[in-house]
Structure 1
Amino acid sequence: MKHYVLAAGGTGGHMVPAAALAAELMRRGHRVALVSDARGVRFPGLFDGVQTHVLPAGRFQVKKPQGWASAVREMWRGRAMARQLYQTFKPAAVIGFGGYPAFPALLAAFADGIPTAVHEQNAVLGRVNRVVARRVDAIATSYEETARLSPRHADKTHLVGNPVREAVLALRARPYPLLEEDGIFRVLVTGGSQGANILSRVVPDGLAMLPPNFRRRLQVTHQARVEDIDAARAQYAAHDIPAELATYLPDMPEQLAWAHLVIGRAGASTIAELTAAGRPAILVPLPSATDDHQTANAREMTKAGGARTIAQGDFTAVELAKQMQKLGLDPAAMENAAGRARSVGRPNAVSDLADLVESLDAPRVRLPKVQKASKPAFA
């Protein structure tokens, strides 16, 4: 039995793969500790059985340099606290998942000579992972092409994919939901852990523009922000579209299981879950995402034919209705698109990542390449 420390920022994109790795390492008989911020330890049910530690971590905002001195002090305080943790927990390795809360934990590991790895969920290497890339022993990536990753690190870079929860991975064994020409068409709308205002504003009106024979088949589940949910609910009601709205969907794997189409952002966890389960999607990347990484995230799935990507500036009710008609009126094309989405999933991501973590003393391990998808199903 070995001890491992997982260090992750407080957003769902960092926490979900960290939780998946924690579960896999514990299944293999190891002990795991989580280092995060106050946001990260509040995700319900993700880290059951894992000891958690909240450490201070300064956030460096480019447009607010006056706060950098305070951020440095917090970072070094977090580093000192992490070193104290390592004295008692004695980790065999420290694995960072990005986000500023991971930085002090990795700095402490460098200082103590503990093997390290980072996992990058996005198709663009994140800021913290870029800073530490030179010093870590291994870099695990989720896409065959990862921007901002220096070729100098090729020897220690391993394509593993982005781990998803076991309940989502189990959907891979279930068939795409039966879709008949006159049957129910289930739409899942999700903006990720933070919701998305534009989806709440545009989707109800876009679905209302569909032909009556299509519109009456719709059954919508919509995850919205607290401040948007009442207005979105009223829009659906005004259009007489059956819709269940919630600010949080605790049964997301089951919602995904029954969805014929997903409309959502292109966050790392969203893409990983869509491709693991094999669900076609209309993706609206968040334009303010650092380095426009959501657009990069969507590229592989879209190229394979499992998704359509619409830039936020072009995401109008009219455009959504147009794309929905192209997709939803042909059940065979929808099922084919689901297969295309599934073709770029990496179902062994968590086991491959755990293998890499366990073998950090042999960093030249090579993992198999994933076969690329062929001709797109829809473009």
Structure 2
Amino acid sequence: MMRERHFVLAAGGTGGHMVPAAALASELAGRGHGVALISDARGVRFPGLFDDVQTHVLPAGRFGRNPLGWIPAARQMLRGRSMAMELYRSFRPSAVVGFGGYPALPALLAAFARDIPTVIHEQNAVLGRVNRLAARKVDAIATSYGHVQRLRERYADKAHLVGNPVREAILALRSRPYPVLDEDGIFRVLVTGGSQGASVLSRVVPDGLAMLPVHFRRRMQVTHQARPEDIEAVRAKYAAHEIPAEIATYLADMPEQLAWAHIVIARAGASTVAELTAAGRPAILVPLPGATDDHQTENAREITEAGGARTIQQRNFTAKELAKQMQRLGLEPRALENAAQRAKGCGRPNAARELADLVERVADEHEGAA
């Protein structure tokens, strides 16, 4: 029987960092280990993700483009590092796992100082800034894609492809069949721009769907996540096109929404792509143009090349282009089912388990060398 250990997970306060951290926390807890979370004020307030995990908010300065802010940021980082070291004295972690974001950095710096094994997990297809800073000293780098840009070749021997962990409710969709789409059935479209919504989707999607063949438009049912300031305009557009649509700022039942969707129109954030490939849903992806290192375009590359999605850069994202790409992806049932299978083929459903295996292995190796 494996003995109980303690692990610290450190993540920035966005959903892209917190969701895989929560999936790993659940897997480690299920193996009988103790888990603690280090994040910022946003991260510890995520509903339902870390209800049974002890959480700690540590200061972490952000190093932006303005050099005048670097000294205060460094002071905050050092303060957070000291607080993390104090936590480690009592919690005694067997390893510290960083998921990116500046709030993860003090926890990793404290682990380096106390010679605690470290693992970082990269959700995107481009190594993030904090993970780039930590890559030289960590014991292992877990990746979500086979090829990760900005990951230096000299670190390749400690990189391990595990995938991007998703929630159990999403993973459960993998065993459910693609929803039946017959000639007279409802054609369901899910539109989501991530946790903050996306105004460009609200501007373009209703008009693009209105340009699809009449027999599809008459059967269409849309669920559209929109920003609060966009809701009334979006609702008016769908009404003018006579397309039934449910508009909301937040979709609390995202797993169920994804379960019945025949096609998804979305940004290409790491968690979104991981959920699409876990569930097996075809998509039209519109990468966020301002994303650091254009990582959303890289996130979309694998599923797009496999034939499970079409990618449209935002500068080219018009109603006409959306309608054209949806028809290319396939509006016939068999074509959509084929695209769904291709999307599913890109999924890595064992990501949480494999990441937990890696974390335990790193802890084992450190104890064996001690």
* TM-score, normalisation: structure 1: 0.94
Segment of structure 1 superposing worse, 242-251 or 347-356: 242-251
- Please state whether the residue corresponding to 1:192 is helix, strand or coil: coil
Corresponding residue for residue 220 of structure 1:
222
Aligned: 1:267 with 2:290: no
Corresponding residue for residue 138 of structure 1:
140
Query: 1: CA distance between counterparts of 2:218 and 2:45?
Result: 39
Corresponding residue for residue 154 of structure 1:
156
- Please state whether the residue corresponding to 1:227 is helix, strand or coil: helix
Corresponding residue for residue 7 of structure 2:
4
Corresponding residue for residue 257 of structure 1:
259
On the 8 A contact 1:216/1:241 being kept in 2, the answer is yes
Unaligned runs of 5+ in 1: 365-379
How many Å apart are 1:349 and its aligned residue?
0.4
Corresponding residue for residue 246 of structure 2:
244
Code of the residue aligned with 2:138 in structure 1: it is V
Match of 2:26 among 23, 27, 39: 23
Corresponding residue for residue 49 of structure 1:
52
* TM-score, normalisation: structure 2: 0.96
Query: 2: CA distance between counterparts of 1:115 and 1:262?
Result: 40
On the 8 A contact 2:304/2:310 being kept in 1, the answer is yes
Query: 1: CA distance between counterparts of 2:259 and 2:238?
Result: 23
- Please state whether the residue corresponding to 1:56 is helix, strand or coil: coil
Corresponding residue for residue 176 of structure 2:
174
On the 8 A contact 1:139/1:157 being kept in 2, the answer is yes
How many Å apart are 1:45 and its aligned residue?
0.5
- Please state whether the residue corresponding to 1:241 is helix, strand or coil: coil
Runs of 4+ deviating beyond 2 Å: 324-329, 361-364
Query: 2: CA distance between counterparts of 1:305 and 1:210?
Result: 20
Segment of structure 1 superposing worse, 319-328 or 145-154: 319-328
How many Å apart are 1:90 and its aligned residue?
0.9
How many Å apart are 1:325 and its aligned residue?
2.8
Code of the residue aligned with 1:11 in structure 2: it is T
Code of the residue aligned with 2:31 in structure 1: it is R
Corresponding residue for residue 59 of structure 1:
62
Corresponding residue for residue 109 of structure 2:
107
Query: 1: CA distance between counterparts of 2:122 and 2:322?
Result: 31
Q: Note the alpha carbon deviations across 1:332-356, whole angstroms, 9 max, x for none.
A: 0000000000001001100000000
Aligned: 1:293 with 2:295: yes
Query: 1: CA distance between counterparts of 2:325 and 2:185?
Result: 19
Corresponding residue for residue 34 of structure 1:
37
Query: 2: CA distance between counterparts of 1:54 and 1:218?
Result: 45
How many Å apart are 1:78 and its aligned residue?
0.8
On the 8 A contact 2:309/2:329 being kept in 1, the answer is no
Code of the residue aligned with 1:194 in structure 2: it is Q
Corresponding residue for residue 120 of structure 1:
122
On the 8 A contact 2:208/2:323 being kept in 1, the answer is yes
How many Å apart are 1:212 and its aligned residue?
2.1
On the 8 A contact 1:138/1:363 being kept in 2, the answer is no
- Please state whether the residue corresponding to 1:308 is helix, strand or coil: strand
Distance 1:126 1:218, change over 3 A: same
Alignment of 1:334-373 (within 5 A): 334-361=336-363
Query: 2: CA distance between counterparts of 1:195 and 1:46?
Result: 20
Q: Note the alpha carbon deviations across 1:198-237, whole angstroms, 9 max, x for none.
A: 0111111111122322111110111112222222122112
How many Å apart are 1:75 and its aligned residue?
0.8
Cα RMSD (Å) = 1.2
On the 8 A contact 1:35/1:105 being kept in 2, the answer is yes
Q: Note the alpha carbon deviations across 1:127-168, whole angstroms, 9 max, x for none.
A: 000001000000000000000001111111100000000010
Q: Note the alpha carbon deviations across 1:253-288, whole angstroms, 9 max, x for none.
A: 111010000000000000100000000000000011
Distance 1:121 1:159, change over 3 A: same
How many Å apart are 1:46 and its aligned residue?
0.9
Code of the residue aligned with 1:322 in structure 2: it is K
- Please state whether the residue corresponding to 1:235 is helix, strand or coil: helix
Unaligned runs of 5+ in 2: none
Distance 1:224 1:284, change over 3 A: same
Code of the residue aligned with 1:346 in structure 2: it is R
Query: 1: CA distance between counterparts of 2:228 and 2:94?
Result: 42
On the 8 A contact 2:95/2:363 being kept in 1, the answer is no
Segment of structure 1 superposing worse, 194-203 or 326-335: 326-335
